[in-house]
Each structure stands twice: as structure tokens, then as C-alpha cells.
């Protein structure tokens, strides 16, 4: 039995999947299997993936397109290892990623969740390392630590497989923010060990990325459910309000004022800093201007935030 099962959902990433797979096969820790879930790609992704030959690679084909959460769940169900590491098909692991995750597992047996820092890769290969500062070791309070950019990206997460028996799999009904939903369930119950080395190249813009797609018709996290289910959890409330804030801005930019108002109504403004409060109520033209300026700064390797 391998030590790690590496789960890679694959949907229309023909220009990325080879490099992604090569980054796994180049790991200095080599005791793993790779489970690719082809979610009925309509480009050459599957063909390209099959050209990478290694006995540790398995490919599972969905009969119908089912989405990212379903693909991850298929990978989890078919994983042979005790530890499941997730990697999106347009991201890259640096060679010591699995080695560092293995070190965390050995050194922090009280943890069931494991992750490392990452660097964001923008067009023209601009790399930006998030500015938050956090040491390696057990995360003392996940929700408070993530009132900034998330301290890990989806491709930096490894989970002890038995954890899913308790908290459940990814929610396949959610089509926007499934990672936030999973994080809430996971971190309410389990502890995370973290490595502060940026060991993932997290691609910020590529084809078919959910995080940049329209909110129209999307099902998002039920923030209200988690708030009502955990009364008195101030840290979780702050985390939920932070995500309400990010979604509210997106709804406003999309012209969906009904959902914008719904998000704003549930936010305790004390849980936002003054910059976030200003942006929450800023007119659309101002949000678009800020978005344009930020895009230009990113091209220079500068990524300003409201955190």
C-alpha cells in the first residue's frame, strides 16, 4: 500500500496536465500512487495524460461531467493510501512537497490535516508569495489565521483518509466555494500541521477555473447553517463574515443586488477592518477601478490586499 494517494481532478487542462504530473513524478518522496479522475474532458486532456507513463498512475473516467467536488470524492473513494493529497491539474508541486508533508505526519501525530504555504502564479509567470506570516507546526486557530488569504491552497492539502468517515466528503451540491465548506467541517473537528515553506505553484488564471467564473447559477456555501449550528463560536463567525464580504463584492460586481444585500445583512461589521467596510459599500465603478489597478500591480509582482 502506498503512503500517499495523490488525487488529481482533470477537466480540460490539456495545456497544464503534463507539467502537473511531472511535478508529482519528480517528488523526492516516492512512495505514492496517482489517481487521475477525468471528468469527461472535451479537449485533449485525457490523451495528453495517458502519454505520461508510470506504473503508479491510475486513470478513472467519469461517465458524465460531475464537477470538481465529485471528482475529488471519486479520488478519495478509490484511494489506496491512508493519506490523501490533492493536486489540481493546473498546479505544480515543488520537489520536496510530499517529503515535507511526510515530515509533518511523523512529527505531529495529533494532526489529521496537513498543508504547506504556496506561491501564486499569474500570467507572464509572475510569482507572488502571500504576505501573511505564520510559522510551521500546529495551527492554533484555523479560522482566525484565515481572515487573510487562505494559508494554504487546494493543491497544498493532505488529509488522513479516516477523517472523511467522520466529517463527510466534499459537498457535491456546492459549485462555488466547496473548499470553504470542507474547511469549516474539517477544522471544527481536527487539527492541522503546517509547513511555512511555499512548496506549491498555484496557478491563478487558467482555462475553466471555477474561482474566476460567473456566480450566475452557482450554489455557494450555506454560511447561515454553520453560524446557527455553532452558536458562540466567535472565530468561526469572523471567518464566515470574511467570506460573506468576499462574496458580497462579487455579487455587486455581477449586478446581483438581492444576493449582495443578503450577504451584507448577515455580516457583523466589527468582524471586518475599515478597508473592508469601505469596499463593502463602495459603488460598482470604484470596485472595477480597484480591480483594474490591482491587475496592473500584479504584473509588477505586487499584490495589494485589504487584509
Specify whether the CB–CB gap between 251 and 259 falls below 8 A: yes
What CA–CA distance (Å, rounded) separates 13 from 67?
Answer: 14
Residue-range domains of the chain with CATH = 4-211 (3.90.550.10), 222-298 (no CATH)
DSSP string, 21-53: HHHHHT-S---EEEEEEE---SSSHHHHHHTS-
pLDDT for the residue numbered 213: 55
pLDDT for the residue numbered 304: 66
What CA–CA distance (Å, rounded) separates 189 from 203?
Answer: 30
* CA distances, 156 to each of 111, 161, 297 (Å): 15, 16, 26
Over residues 281-307, the pLDDT tens digits come to 999 999 999 888 887 887 766 666 665
Over residues 103-145, the pLDDT tens digits come to 999 999 999 999 999 999 998 888 889 888 789 999 999 999 9
- DSSP 8-state symbol, 184: H
E strand intervals along 87-148: 92-93, 113-122, 126-128, 137-138
What CA–CA distance (Å, rounded) separates 129 from 118?
Answer: 7
The torsion region of residue 134 among left (phi > 0), alpha (psi -120 to 50) and beta comes to beta
307 residues of the chain, pLDDT tens digit each: 999 999 999 999 999 999 999 999 999 999 999 999 999 999 999 999 999 999 999 999 999 999 999 999 999 999 999 999 999 999 999 999 999 999 999 999 999 999 999 999 998 888 889 888 789 999 999 999 998 789 999 999 999 999 999 999 999 999 999 999 999 999 999 999 999 999 999 998 755 544 455 787 789 999 999 999 999 999 999 999 999 999 999 999 999 999 999 999 999 999 999 999 999 999 999 999 988 888 788 776 666 666 5
Amino acid at each position: 500500500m502506498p503512503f500517499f494517494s495523490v488525487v488529481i481532478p482533470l477537466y480540460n487542462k490539456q495545456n497544464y496536465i503534463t507539467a502537473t504530473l511531472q511535478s508529482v513524478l519528480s517528488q523526492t518522496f516516492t512512495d505514492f500512487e496517482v489517481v487521475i479522475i477525468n471528468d469527461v474532458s472535451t479537449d485533449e486532456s485525457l490523451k495528453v495524460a495517458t502519454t505520461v507513463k508510470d506504473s503508479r498512475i491510475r486513470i478513472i473516467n467519469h461517465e458524465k461531467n460531475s464537477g470538481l467536488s465529485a471528482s475529488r470524492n471519486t479520488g478519495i473513494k478509490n484511494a489506496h493510501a491512508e493519506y490523501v493529497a490533492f493536486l489540481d491539474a493546473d498546479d505544480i508541486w515543488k520537489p520536496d512537497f510530499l517529503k515535507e508533508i511526510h515530515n509533518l505526519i511523523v512529527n505531529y501525530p495529533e494532526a489529521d490535516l496537513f498543508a504547506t504555504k504556496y506561491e501564486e502564479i499569474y500570467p507572464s509567470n509572475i510569482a507572488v508569495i502571500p504576505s501573511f506570516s505564520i510559522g510551521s507546526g500546529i495551527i492554533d486557530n484555523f479560522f482566525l489565521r484565515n481572515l487573510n488569504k487562505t494559508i494554504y491552497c487546494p493543491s497544498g492539502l493532505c488529509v488522513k483518509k479516516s477523517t472523511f468517515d467522520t466529517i463527510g466528503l466534499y459537498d457535491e451540491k456546492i459549485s462555488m466555494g466547496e473548499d470553504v465548506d470542507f474547511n469549516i467541517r474539517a477544522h471544527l473537528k481536527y487539527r492541522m500541521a503546517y509547513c511555512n515553506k511555499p512548496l506549491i505553484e498555484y496557478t491563478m488564471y487558467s482555462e475553466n477555473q471555477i474561482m474566476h467564473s460567473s456566480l450566475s447559477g452557482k450554489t455557494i456555501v450555506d454560511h447561515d447553517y454553520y453560524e446557527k449550528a455553532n452558536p458562540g463560536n466567535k472565530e468561526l463567525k469572523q471567518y464566515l463574515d470574511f467570506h460573506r464580504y468576499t462574496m458580497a463584492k462579487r455579487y455587486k460586481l455581477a449586478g446581483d443586488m438581492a444576493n449582495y444585500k443578503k450577504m451584507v445583512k448577515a455580516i457583523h461589521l466589527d468582524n471586518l477592518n475599515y478597508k473592508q467596510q469601505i469596499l463593502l459599500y463602495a459603488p460598482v465603478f470604484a470596485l472595477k477601478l480597484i480591480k483594474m489597478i490591482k491587475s496592473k500591480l500584479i504584473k509588477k509582482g505586487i499584490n495589494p490586499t485589504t487584509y
